[in-house]
Structure 1
Amino acid sequence: MEDMKWIEVAAAIIENEAGSILIARRKAGKSQAGLWEFPGGKIEPGESIEACIRRELMEELQIEITIKSYFGMHEHPYETANIRLIAYKVTYLRGDIRLIDHDAYRWVRREELTEIAFAPADVLFVQMLQAELEEK
C-alpha cells in the first residue's frame, strides 16, 4: 500500500437553507457501493479543487453550487487506492437533482449523519460536522 499513489478527490458539504446536508449513495458496481458520501470526484490534472467540485456536481447531480469555504482534508488508504479527500462547504444554487453515479440521495440533518453508513474516507467529515453542531 505504501507504493500506491494518492488520488486527490474533492468533496462538497452542501447545506440548504433549512440546514440539511446533501448526501448521496454510491450505486452498485462502484467501489464502496451502497455506502453514503459527500458528493464530488477526482481532481483532474491542472484543475483547482473549486473547479472540480463545480464540474463534478454538474456532471453527477446536475446542480449548480457556489463555493463557501475550505472544510478539511482526510487521507484514507483503501485496499486498491489511497484517497486524499479535500472537502469544501458549498451552497446549493439551482438545478433539479438527477442521479448519474449514485442510486439515491437524501437531505439530512446533522444529528442524523452518525446513523448513516458512510464510505470510510468521509467519516472524519461526519465527525467534524457533529463537532460543529455541538459547539453551537
Structure 2
Amino acid sequence: MIEVAAAIIVDQEGRILIAKRKEGQKRGGLWEFPGGKIEVGETPEKCLKRELKEEMNIDIKVNEYFGENIYAYEDITIKLLAYYAEILKGSIQLKDHDTYKWVKSKSLGNYAFAAADVQFVKELIKVEL
C-alpha cells in the first residue's frame, strides 16, 4: 500500500480546485484533488507543499485534516489522506494535468473522479464552503 496526500484547496468564493489527469497516465481523463505520493520520512503536509509546487507551481498553506480513504485499484492499493488547503502565492501552471477547474462543492458530482477520491466528493457535496 502506498500513501498519497490530496489537497482540498478552497478559494475565497468557497470553490474547490479539481484537476483532470492527463490522458495516457494511470486513471487518465479522471478528475482528482491535486497531490501525490508521500515520500519516506515525509509528512502529508510537506508532501502536499512539495507536490503542488512541482505539479502546479503554487505555494500552499495546509490547513486542517479532512479525512482518509483506502482504495484498492487493480494494480495498487492506496491510502489517501486529504487536507484542506489554500493558495498562498503563484499562478497555476499545469505539469501533470490536462486542465483544472474551480467548482462549488455541490457541483463536484458532475465530474468523473478517480475512484479513491469519490468518498471525499460525496462528503464535500454535503458541505457548504
State how far apart, in whole Å, the 2-side matches of 1:60 and 1:29 are: 17
Say whether residues 1:127 and 2:110 are aligned partners.
no
What is the identity percentage for the equivalent residue pairs of Structure 1 and Structure 2?
52
Shift of 1:55: 0.2
Of 7, 13, 16, which residue of structure 2 is paired with 1:18? Answer: 13
Residue in structure 2 matched with residue 84 of structure 1 by the alignment: 79
1:117 aligns with 2:128: no
Give the unaligned 5+ runs of structure 1: 1-5
Moved more, 39-48 or 122-131: 122-131
Q: Which residue of 2 aligns with 1:67?
A: 62
Once residues 21 and 42 of structure 1 are traced to their aligned partners in structure 2, the CA distance between those partners, rounded to angstroms, is 21
The one-letter code sitting in structure 1 at the alignment partner of 2:96 is: D
Does 2:93 align with 1:98? yes
User: Normalized against structure 2, the TM-score is what?
Assistant: 0.97
Q: Which runs of 4+ in 1 moved over 2 A?
A: none
* 1:131 positional shift: 2.1
2: CA distance, partners of 1:38 / 1:89? 10
What is the match of residue 58 of structure 1? 53
TM-score (norm: length of structure 1) = 0.92
For residue 132 of structure 1, give the secondary structure of its aligned residue in structure 2.
coil
Match of 1:30 among 25, 29, 35: 25
Q: Distance in 2 between matches of 1:83 and 1:68?
A: 22
Amino acid at match of 2:51: E
Coordinate RMSD, CA, aligned: 1.0
